[in-house]
Amino acid sequence: MAAEVLSQGGAAVDLYDAMPSVGRKFLLAGRGGLNLTHSEPPAPFLQRYAQRSEDLRPAVSAFDGKAVREWASGLGIVTFVGTSGRVFPTDLKAAPLLRAWLHRLRSGGVRIHARHRWTGWSDGAGAGALSFETPAGPVTQTADATVLALGGASWSRLGSDGAWVARLEARGVAVAPLRPANCGFDVAPTGAGRTGWSEHLRQRFAGQPVKPVAAFMAAAGHDWQQGEFVLTDTGIEGSLVYAFSAGLRDAIAARGQASWMLDLLPQHTPAQVLAEVAHPRGPRSLSTHLKSRLGLQGLKMALLHELLTAEQLHDPAQLARAIKALPLVLARPRPLDEAISTAGGVAFEALDPQSMLRALPGVFCAGEMLDWEAPTGGYLLTACLATGRKAAQGALQWLGDRPN
């Protein structure tokens, strides 16, 4: 996006990518349908960026969800709003958009250099002397202005390995530690000698979705939120987990663990659940009784057996409370490289209002390498696009202000 704005502004643009082709993580985002943006009104949209909403306001307000859709339309990509308010291309694919986009860039004069891994600046040279590793060996290129859009540190096999952190810190740039965002979690041991789920639960249910459920995390100030998640070999992942991941991650960092409350029957009131659980079951087993009276079965029933004691299972009041608020204790987030996105990065305080690094005049930063995070739902791509535009506009201003 920065290359597009720069070339449209009259700059001669070279785009360098460490991978054999451009936009590999963009293509990965398209595996689930390419959720480009969200149809939320501006105010709640901005609030998705939490404590960084004000820092991102100038960029995202200038290139919001409506602008993203208009931009995609200009590339010949028709979009639609899904039932959840998320915006997708009608064909649910990333490749056609990327192809059209790269064609526009090349037609606009952008020179694309693949397999050029940025390694920093030439020793003793200024911020315009850029060093790269290439198949032909090391090369140095000189630029009047540079936009760094180096990503976070998740999915490193696609190029975003976080190697840039040390290079910028060595030049006096403040960088917040990189942490996983929109990630899965490992559960705390549920019994003596265990490291997570029981072997029975893993063997029978790993990979299966838990739905519909609602979740709540009091410490993060969330309301109950309905959705679904997936049981993994070691814990949980999925869209409902990602909505809480920042709060869960921070609680674990502060207290060593986090408690996530699950409502296994969000369509039932507590009174309804208690009445059905307490209904006489005669000779029927508890599992048969709950399946008959509440439709509770399979993985949901297995979670109750996994997390409750025999006493709790056979006490109607305790069991009813657990069905409506089952505490799931989480021990750690999954490794950073598995996360959908990255928290942390270049501090906004290290940038001037034009997205230029205060410590490195002529160098601008954009995208996931900045210190912000957001839930899935189109907010990640929108902010990446918007900050790319803003950095490019800052670079054009910088170039225009320089003496000839």
Number of residues assigned to the chain: 404
For residue 71, is pLDDT > 60? yes
For residue 149, is pLDDT > 80? yes
Assign 117 to helix, strand or coil: strand
One domain for residues 25 and 173? yes
Strands, E, within 103-174: which ranges?
111-113, 117-121, 129-134, 137-142, 146-148
One domain for residues 195 and 121? no
**Which two three-digit tokens encode residue 278?**
């307490």
One domain for residues 13 and 151? yes
One domain for residues 353 and 329? no
From CA 241, how far away is CA 228, in angstroms rounded? Answer: 8
**Which two three-digit tokens encode residue 231?**
């049981």
pLDDT average, residue stretch 281-297: 93
One domain for residues 166 and 193? no
87-93: Cβ within 8 A, 24+ apart? 87/35, 87/36, 87/37, 87/38, 87/39, 87/378, 88/33, 88/34, 88/35, 88/36, 89/34, 89/36, 92/30, 92/33, 92/34, 93/30, 93/34
One domain for residues 154 and 256? no
Of residues 237 and 191, which shows the higher confidence score?
Answer: 237
For residue 367, is pLDDT > 60? yes
For residue 17, is pLDDT > 80? yes
For residue 19, is pLDDT > 60? yes
Query: What band does 126 get if pLDDT is binned at 50, 70 and 90?
Result: low
pLDDT average, residue stretch 281-285: 91
One domain for residues 244 and 319? yes
pTM: 0.91
Query: What band does 170 get if pLDDT is binned at 50, 70 and 90?
Result: very high
Report the domain count for the chain: 2
> According to the model, what pLDDT value does residue 308 have?
94
Range of the domain at 77: 2-180+336-401
One domain for residues 193 and 146? no
Q: Which H or E run contains 59?
A: helix 53-62
One domain for residues 160 and 200? no
pLDDT average, residue stretch 51-76: 97
Rounded mean pLDDT of the chain? 94
Residue whose C-alpha is closest to residue 229's, from 250, 243, 248, 247:
243
Query: What band does 221 get if pLDDT is binned at 50, 70 and 90?
Result: low
To the nearest whole percent, how much of the chain has pLDDT over 70?
96
For residue 222, is pLDDT > 70? no
**Which two three-digit tokens encode residue 307?**
């997390």
Single-letter amino acid, residue 357: L
One domain for residues 223 and 237? yes
**Which two three-digit tokens encode residue 109?**
């004069």
For residue 191, is pLDDT > 70? no
pLDDT average, residue stretch 170-198: 87
To the nearest whole percent, how much of the chain has pLDDT over 90?
89
Q: Which of 190-194, 251-255, 299-303, 304-308 has the weakest average pLDDT?
A: 190-194
> According to the model, what pLDDT value does residue 223 have?
80
From CA 387, how far away is CA 254, in angstroms rounded? Answer: 31
One domain for residues 202 and 345? no
